Structure 1
Amino acid sequence: MFHFTALVTCFSIALYFFTSLRVSKARAAFGIKPPAISGDPGFERVFRVQMNTLEWIPIFLPSIWLFAIYVSDLVAGLIGLVWIAGRILYMTGYSQAPEKRRRGFGIQATAAIALWVGAVFGIVRHLFNVS
């Protein structure tokens, strides 16, 4: 069973849902009516956090699950928590100023790449029965 990965998957979905709620609140706060996605830099930063999270989820979710299946559920969960922490740092930094998003972005990108690379090596190892 993949309990750690499942739990981290739920956390990542909750994080994405939270970023969506922040966009709704920012629309009201900055007076940005749908379907507009620009008009105030504060709103645009909140919106970009949600969209960037959405852009990374299709990389993160398959990678964490493949890593869990072919390498380790526990390690996948731990790296997944690092990804979530990076996303939170990205969100809080970018909300303050665009240049403050880099650390969080780097952390989450490194975690996602580690999951993907680990998954590829795990799959190849199993494919060729290498111990």
Structure 2
Amino acid sequence: MYHFTALVTLLAILVYFYSSVLVSQARGKFGVKLPAISGNPDFERVFRAQMNTLEWLPIFLPSLWLFAIYIGDGIAATLGLVWVVGRILYIFGYAKSVPQRSPGFATQALATIALWVGAFGAIVWRLVQG
């Protein structure tokens, strides 16, 4: 069973949902009317944080699940939590300024790379071992 990985998956989706709420709030706060996605730099940073989170989900989620299946639920969930924390830091940091997004970005990127490399290595290892 993959209960911990499932919980982290739901947390990751919650972070993405929350970033969508922040975009909606920023639209009102900074007067950016639909369908516009530009016009105010403060809004654009909040919007880009949401879009970047969406861009990383298809990299993160399969890597998370393949790592859980081939290596283990607990380790996958722990690395997944690192990704969630990194994304939260990224979203709030980016809302403040472009440079403040870097620590969160690096954290989530390293977690994703660890998940992908681990999953890939484990799959190749099993294929080689027969």
TM-score range, shorter chain: over 0.9
Unmatched tracts of structure 1, length 5 or more: none
Deviations 1:27-46 (A, max 9, x none): 11111111100111110010
Matched AA of 1:64:
L
Deviations 1:43-81 (A, max 9, x none): 001000000000000000000000000011100000000
Q: Aligned residues: percent identity?
A: 61
Q: Normalised by the size of structure 2, how large is the TM-score?
A: 0.97
Question: Size of the alignment, in residue pairs?
Answer: 130
Matched AA of 2:76:
A
The equivalent residue for 1:4 is: 4
1:119 offset after TM fit, Å? 0.3
The equivalent residue for 2:76 is: 76
Matched AA of 1:26:
A
Do structure 1's residue 123 and structure 2's residue 113 form an aligned pair? no
Q: Normalised by the size of structure 1, how large is the TM-score?
A: 0.96
Matched AA of 2:101:
R
Unmatched tracts of structure 2, length 5 or more: none
- Deviating above 2 A after TM superposition, structure 1's stretches of 4 or more consecutive aligned residues are none
- 1-structure distance, mates of 2:93, 2:17: 19
- 2-structure distance, mates of 1:129, 1:26: 53
| Cα-Cα RMSD | 0.9
1:126 offset after TM fit, Å? 1.7
- 2-structure distance, mates of 1:72, 1:116: 13
The equivalent residue for 1:39 is: 39
- 1-structure distance, mates of 2:85, 2:77: 12
- 2-structure distance, mates of 1:128, 1:116: 18
